[in-house]
Amino acid sequence: MKLYVLFLVLAAALLHASWNLLAKKTGGKTPFIWLQYVASNLLYLPFLFFQTKQGYSLQIQPLLWFSLSSAILHLGYFIILQKGYRNADLSVVYPLARGSAPLFSSIAAILFIHEQFKLSSTIGLFLIIAGVLIITGLSFKKENNRKIMTGITYGTLTGIFIALYTINDTIAVKKYTIAPLILTLATNFFSAILLLPFISSQKAELKREMKEHKWHIIAIALLSPAAYILVLEALKYAPLTLVAPARETSILLGVFMGSRVLNEKDGRRRLIASMLILGGIVALSLS
């Protein structure tokens, strides 16, 4: 992986872990997610105008198809992720979501994009799986197993959605050369439209979210698209089987934030398990 691509991916990981910490703190529901999409498009609109003035030619039909499908998958991702954060620890949900996603996306890349899979990739995936199992800390004698199982469920489901929208957007960027910024903003636009029927009757909740979490919404609206745009930009220069695992260095940041900032328990064990996941990511990146 080239240094430029590695920088893009690591920067994306830092931004991603940061906005997930904010999302965990707010515990926002559908109105919060809708406000985030709207704010994001408003904030990034000037950049869109700048890019279109540079003579970029749009492929309307592929853009509509991939942005709409990406919007549906991203909605599933955000809704499940936020529900997981409301019911379980950040240091369980986040690493499980980010750790399982490379497994699913790498398999999808091999099956649908015909990328090669090497021995180091297999070792990497086994390390990731081992780290995920350790991080859960399951024990039938523990009273908090129910909460951990909730985290496992939502974390794994989130990972599936991450893999699905990643493979969808990779095809859009690589095969149809759709610009990452345009794809991201179009996806956010369709996501906001799709959520309208669900938030139209929640005006009081919308006002409450704007009053209590205005700055969180603005911060996530800036950080979330930026993190993903950097990943899509990296995918233009490197295969998905390298970029998808490498971006998951955010797992260490997520576990650290959960332990230190949110005072979640079992921080040391979860951090050790995250190191295993990171080792798996390195093995995948070397393949």
- Looking at the chain, the whole-number percentage of residues with pLDDT higher than 90 is 38
Tens-digit pLDDT profile for residues 37-90: 999 999 999 988 887 776 666 788 999 999 999 999 999 999 999 999 998 888
Q: Higher model confidence: residue 48 or residue 115?
A: 48
pLDDT over 80 (residue 164) = yes
Residue 29's Cβ-side half-sphere holds a number of Cα atoms within 13 Å equal to 9
pLDDT over 90 (residue 145) = no
Confidence of residue 33 (pLDDT cuts 50, 70, 90): very high
Task: Say how far apart CA 128 and CA 249 lie, in whole Å.
Answer: 12
Q: Higher model confidence: residue 147 or residue 82?
A: 82
Given this model, what pLDDT does residue 19 score? 93
Confidence of residue 170 (pLDDT cuts 50, 70, 90): confident
Mean pLDDT, range 143-151, rounded to an integer: 71
Three-class SS state of 55:
coil
Closest CA to 26 of 213, 256, 219, 263: 213
Report the run of H or E that residue 127 belongs to, with start and end: helix 119-136
Domain range annotation of the chain: 3-285
Given this model, what pLDDT does residue 117 score? 64
Given this model, what pLDDT does residue 213 score? 94
Task: Say how far apart CA 240 and CA 52 lie, in whole Å.
Answer: 27
pLDDT over 70 (residue 144) = no
Mean pLDDT, range 116-124, rounded to an integer: 72
Confidence of residue 140 (pLDDT cuts 50, 70, 90): very low
Could you give the C-alpha distances from 212 to 43, 118, 134, 209, 230, in angstroms and in order? 20, 49, 36, 5, 29
Weakest-pLDDT range from 203-217, 228-242, 249-263: 249-263
Could you give the C-alpha distances from 26 to 70, 151, 213, in angstroms and in order? 24, 17, 7
Given this model, what pLDDT does residue 223 score? 96
Range picked from 23-27, 122-126, 221-225 for highest mean pLDDT:
221-225
Three-class SS state of 159:
helix
* Structure-block tokens of residue 230: 């950097």
Mean pLDDT, range 145-157, rounded to an integer: 82
Q: What are phi and psi of 276, to 5 degrees?
A: -60, -45
